[in-house]
Amino acid sequence: MTTTAVRATHALDVPAIRRDFPILETIINGHRLVYLDNAATSQKPRQMIDALVAYYTSQNANIHRAAHTLAATATERYEATRQKLARFIGAPSPEEIIFTRNTTEAVNLVASSWGLANVHAGDAIVMTQAEHHSNLVPWQRVAEATGATLTYLPIDDGGMLDLNAAHALIGPRTRVVAITHMSNVLGTIAPIAEIVRITREKAPGAIVVVDGAQSAPHLPIDVAALGCDFFAISAHKMLGPTGVGALWGRRDLLEAMPPFLSGGSMVGHVTFESTTWAPIPQRFEAGTPNIADVIAFGASIDYLDALGMDAVRHHEREITAYALATLRARHPALTFYATDDTNVRGGVVAFNVRNVHPHDVSELLDGRGIAIRAGQHCAHPLHTVLGAVATCRASFYIYNLSEEVDALSEGLAEVEKVFARAIARPQA
Ligand code: PMP
C-alpha cells in the first residue's frame, strides 16, 4: 500500500486504496463494478495476492518439519502471521491463536472440543436471535448430544440486543453464551463486554464465545478488553484469502481441551497403544495447514494495520450514515431493519423494497454492475423475527465511495420504475 493511503488520523484516502484492488476495475454488464457485498467476502489488495504468488513461486515448503532452509523460512512466515493476528486482536499470546479454515470451523472447534466435554443435560446454551447459522447450528448439535437447552436473547426494534433479557436469561445453569459481535444482516454491534460482565456475575462457569466474522474486519478489536473466552474470525472478510480463519481462546481453556481433529502434527508421542497431545496451538492444527493462505493473510493484516482500524471504522461510519440518509430520503418504499445510529452499528445495511422480492432487486442492480446480496444471509431464524421472507443487503468496506451509494440509489430508482405497480399496492 502507498503510505498516502492514510490521509490524516481519521480519513482514509479511498482513491489510493482503490488502486491497490485490481478487481475494482472490472466491468460487469457494461458498468464498472460497484462491490457492495463485503459482508459475504471482501475484495483483495495486490499486496495479499503478491504474497500468495511469491509463496508458491519461491517459498513453498511444508512447515514445522524438515530442517532445510525453505521449510524454516515457510515456518517462520506462517508463525509470523500468528504473531501479527495476535497483536491485531489484542490476544495476550500468539500461542492462543489456532488457525482454522474459517469462522465456521473455529466455532465448531469450540463446540466439539469444549462443548461436548463440558456441557451436560439441563445446562443452558444462550445465543441471540441475530446469530449466523455458523454460531447457532454447532450449538444446537451440542444441545442435542448433551441434553442441554437452547435460549435466544431477543433483539429490539432497532436490531439491538436486549440487555434486560440478558440479565434475566443468563443464569446459574448457563454453560455457554455464544454471540455475534456484529450482525451480518443488521450491522448492529453487540455490547460484548457488558454480556461478559453479566455472564461472569450470573454464570461463573460459563464461557463466552464471540463470532467476530463481521467485527474483526471493521472494528478495532481487543479480546482482552472484551473479556470473552473465545473469538472466531475469517480471513476472507478482512482482505485475506479464502480457506483461512482463526480461533483465539484463553490459554487455560485451550490447554484443558481435548483435540478437535487428530492425526499428524498435533501429537506429542505416539505408540501403537496411545498418543499424547502436542501443546497449543499445534494440538488444534492437525495435518498440513493452509500454509500459503496463512502467509498471505499476514499481508492483509499488514494492510489493515497500516490504514489503522480507527480510520477504517471512521470511514465506514461516514459511508453508512450517508447511505442511510440518502436511501431514506430518496426511497420511501424502502424498509430498514436496524437503528441508524452509527455509534452502535457498522456498514451492513439490510432493506426491502415494498412488494418486490430481493432477488428481483439484486438482479436489476446487477444489470448496472452493482453487487449486493439477496436472501436470508445464513440467518433464517433472524428473518422469522424480522417478519421478512428475505432481505437485500448492501455492505461497505474501505474502498467504497459515496458515489457508489449514489449508484445504488440510482439503481433502486430503476427498480421503483420497473415495479411501480407492485410498490403502489399496500404492503403484501
Ligand atoms: N458469522 C457471521 C456473522 C458471518 O457473517 C459469517 C459469514 N457470512 C460467518 C459467521 C461464517 O463465516 P465463514 O463462512 O467464513 O465460516
Q: Tens digits of per-residue pLDDT, 392-425?
A: 999 999 999 999 999 999 999 999 999 999 999 9
Q: Which of 82, 360, 119, 53 has its CA nearest to residue 233? A: 82
pTM listed for this prediction: 0.97
144 lies in some domain: yes
378 noted as active-site residue: yes
Q: Indicate whether 140 and 209 sit together in one domain.
A: yes
Q: What is the pLDDT of residue 85?
A: 98
Is the pLDDT at 6 greater than 80, yes or no? no
For residue 174, what is its C-alpha cell? 448457563
Domain boundary among 287, 305, 323: 305
In the chain, % of residues over pLDDT 70: 98
79 lies in some domain: yes
Give the mean pLDDT of 192-197: 98
Q: 64 pLDDT band (50/70/90 cuts)?
A: confident
Domain boundary among 305, 325, 358: 305
33, 54, 378, 418: the catalytic one is 378
Q: Indicate whether 355 and 372 sit together in one domain.
A: yes
CA of 130 to the centre of ligand 1 (A): 12
Q: Indicate whether 24 and 89 sit together in one domain.
A: no
Q: 67 pLDDT band (50/70/90 cuts)?
A: confident
341 lies in some domain: yes
Nearest-atom number in ligand 1 for the CA of 106 is 16
Q: Tens digits of per-residue pLDDT, 90-146?
A: 999 999 999 999 999 999 999 999 999 999 999 999 999 999 999 999 999 999 999
Q: Indicate whether 152 and 300 sit together in one domain.
A: yes
> Which H or E element spans position 284?
none
Q: Indicate whether 247 and 385 sit together in one domain.
A: no
Q: Which domain holds residue 92?
A: 50-305
Q: Indicate whether 316 and 300 sit together in one domain.
A: no
Nearest-atom number in ligand 1 for the CA of 101 is 16
Q: Indicate whether 178 and 127 sit together in one domain.
A: yes
8 lies in some domain: no
CA dihedral 276, 279, 284, 287 (to 10 degrees): -70
**CA separation for the pair 42, 390 (Å, rounded):** 22
How many domains does one find in the chain?
2
Q: Tens digits of per-residue pLDDT, 216-228?
A: 999 999 999 999 9
CA of 192 to the centre of ligand 1 (A): 18
Nearest-atom number in ligand 1 for the CA of 103 is 16
Is the pLDDT at 8 greater than 60, yes or no? no
Strands (E), 169-226: 174-180, 207-211
Q: What is the pLDDT of residue 9?
A: 55
Count, residues in the chain: 428
74 lies in some domain: yes
Q: Indicate whether 78 and 210 sit together in one domain.
A: yes
2 lies in some domain: no
Q: Tens digits of per-residue pLDDT, 264-317?
A: 999 999 999 999 999 999 999 999 999 999 999 999 999 999 999 999 999 999
More confident residue, 266 or 66: 266
4 lies in some domain: no
Is the pLDDT at 3 greater than 50, yes or no? no
CATH number of the domain bearing residue 399: 3.90.1150.10
Q: Indicate whether 25 and 132 sit together in one domain.
A: no
Domain boundary among 305, 333, 368: 305
Q: Indicate whether 83 and 149 sit together in one domain.
A: yes
**CA separation for the pair 217, 44 (Å, rounded):** 13
Q: Indicate whether 151 and 57 sit together in one domain.
A: yes
Q: What is the pLDDT of residue 1?
A: 47
Q: Indicate whether 323 and 259 sit together in one domain.
A: no
Query: Does residue 137's CB lie within 6 angstroms of at least one atom of ligand 1?
Result: no
**CA separation for the pair 106, 424 (Å, rounded):** 46
**CA separation for the pair 219, 346 (Å, rounded):** 8
CATH number of the domain bearing residue 202: 3.40.640.10
**CA separation for the pair 366, 425 (Å, rounded):** 25
Which residues fall within 8 angstroms of residue 57, CB to CB, at 6 or more apart? none
7 lies in some domain: no
**CA separation for the pair 154, 166 (Å, rounded):** 9
Candidate from 132, 231, 395 with most ligand 1 atoms within 8 A of CB, to mutate: 132
